[in-house]
Amino acid sequence: MDRIILHCDANSFYASVECLYNPAIRHRPVAVSGDAQARHGIILAKNEIAKRYGVKTGEAIWQARQKCPELLCVPADFSLYVRFSRKMRRIFEQYSDRVESFGLDEVWIDLSQPGLCWDEGVRMAHALRRRVREELGITISVGVSFNKVFAKLGSDMKKPDAVTAIAPDRFRELVWPLPAGDLLFVGPSTRRKLAAINITTIGDLARFDPALLQSRLGKNGLTLSAFANGEDRSPVMPSDQRMAIQSIGNSTTPPHDLTCEEDARCLYTLLAESVAARLRAEGLRARCVSISARTAQLSTASCQCMLKEPTNLTDEIAQAALGLFAGRFGGHFPYRSVGLSCSHLSPDNAPIQLDFTGNEEKRMRLEQLERSIDGLRRRYGHQIVQRGVVLCDRDFAQINPVENHTIHPVPFYAG
């Protein structure tokens, strides 16, 4: 049975939703952006009008306004975008029980079933596109192909409000002339490595010796070679299947640069609290702690360490993070932003070996205490309980690392 995979991508999603709710701005160049006063001043999304001026996602607001002085920047409303994402998904799930999210505004849909021909799959893609426009008031672009990689490539080829089909017998004609950077997982760094060996198009990548690619790019080279040749076999996850969590993290750009060890202690404790709370909420403990720090020149470095025992305790995660920071980054201030994540996860109901010193018993009591604090924060808000170290800087104490940090996973491989 031939596969028929759709990739649906909401066009300028955040900006489209904002324009839908505020008709007065629909005919103006609009961008959804972070808060420049809080040093989060980057473009998160832009509408088609702003796009014509060359405004790009990820650039600073001041850079965007140099291109488009009339640009209207509106703050992000993630709860609204999540609600619209769920509305779209409910429509998609009427066509298949295999719908896999790729962020808030993108999904793959597997329409494959006995008796469903290619032309019918393309007609269903057009029906989906019309339904989203008529029922929700926003537009999507849909790629139709025989695998997930080419379906996503198709949705990027024609925007907005369009369907692009890449059939098995035409993919070389349609896909191979495209730049190598258009292929999934070919980011700027990989694109530069490919250009160094004279690979500039997807066709060049497909025809290149896989063994040489592997020597240059490692395992990723073989993956990209398979993608370029249409050999992606990854399944679309069932709608009710949840991807296993591989890591949990958080990062923040504070109101002012970190200029001393005390600033680092305050901010990493805040991040450790949010990560530890998420670990407990997910029923997990972690063995590996990783941190990152970004300088005022926007260069980022990271490092990690393994813990003796899996943990979901704030103090243990914070102490590991601060030890890493002192060893790797201390003395090189200032820093613009920092991040913390935990990996090597295991269930929190795994058996624990008690010891004669009573240390494990103490850790169990601490976990119970932190779960009680989690309950208070869920009921009364995150700021209802704060650690003394956080209050050393009133600006940092106002940061809410939970409510101001929304995580939208973007899995690709199922299983």
Domain boundaries, the chain: 1-167, 176-241, 247-397
Give the integer Cα–Cα distance in Å for 310 and 352. Answer: 10
For residue 245, the 8-state DSSP code is P
Which of 126, 96, 99, 123 lies closest to 112 in space, CA to CA?
A: 96
Give the integer Cα–Cα distance in Å for 232 and 225. Answer: 10
Q: What is the mean pLDDT of residues 291-308?
A: 88
**Per-residue pLDDT at 91 exceeds 70:** yes
Q: What is the mean pLDDT of residues 380-386?
A: 85
User: What are the C-alpha distances in Å from 155 to residues 163, 166, 184?
Assistant: 7, 10, 12
Q: Residue 235 in 3-state DSSP?
A: coil
pLDDT in tens, 240-269: 776 667 889 998 888 888 899 999 999 999
Q: How confident is the model at residue 187 (pLDDT cuts 50, 70, 90)?
A: confident
* Residue 89 vs residue 401, higher pLDDT: 89
Please report which helix (H) or strand (E) contains residue 140, including its range: strand 140-145
**Structure-derived torsion over alpha carbons of residues 224, 230, 234, 238, reported in degrees to the nearest 10:** 140
Q: How confident is the model at residue 388 (pLDDT cuts 50, 70, 90)?
A: confident
Q: How confident is the model at residue 99 (pLDDT cuts 50, 70, 90)?
A: very high
Classify domain 176-241 by CATH number. Answer: 1.10.150.20
Tokens (6 digits) for 401? 């690392």
Domain 1-167, architecture per CATH: 2-Layer Sandwich (3.30)
**Catalytic annotation, residues:** 106
Residue 402 is predicted with a pLDDT of 67
Tell me the torsion sign for CA atoms 111, 112, 117, 119: positive
Q: Residue 137 in 3-state DSSP?
A: coil
Q: How many Cβ atoms are within 10 Å of 305's Cβ, its own excluded? A: 14
Residue 408 is predicted with a pLDDT of 41
Tokens (6 digits) for 382? 């995150």
**Per-residue pLDDT at 105 exceeds 50:** yes
Residue 36 is predicted with a pLDDT of 63
Relative to beta strand 30-33, strand 72-75 is parallel
Angle of helix 118-136 relative to helix 78-92, nearest 10 degrees, comes to 140
Q: Does the fold of domain 247-397 match that of domain 176-241? A: no
Which of 151, 123, 349 lies closest to 236 in space, CA to CA?
A: 151
**Per-residue pLDDT at 283 exceeds 90:** yes
Residue 174 is predicted with a pLDDT of 96
Amino acid sitting at position 324: L
CATH 3.30.230.10 fits 247-397, yes or no: no
Tokens (6 digits) for 117? 């021909």
Q: CB of 255 within 8 A of CB of 396?
A: yes
Residue 415 is predicted with a pLDDT of 34
In the chain, % of residues over pLDDT 90: 67
User: Which range (59-68, 154-163, 290-299) has the least confidence?
Assistant: 290-299
Phi, psi (degrees; rounded to nearest 5) at 306: -100, 140
Residue 245 is predicted with a pLDDT of 78
For residue 390, the 8-state DSSP code is G
Say if residue 205 is exposed, middle or buried (CB neighbours under 10 Å; 0-12, 13-18, 19+): buried
Region class of 216: left (phi > 0), else alpha (psi between -120 and 50), else beta:
alpha
Give the integer Cα–Cα distance in Å for 358 and 393. Answer: 35
pTM exceeds 0.85, yes or no: no
pLDDT in tens, 17-50: 999 999 999 999 999 987 766 555 789 899 999 9
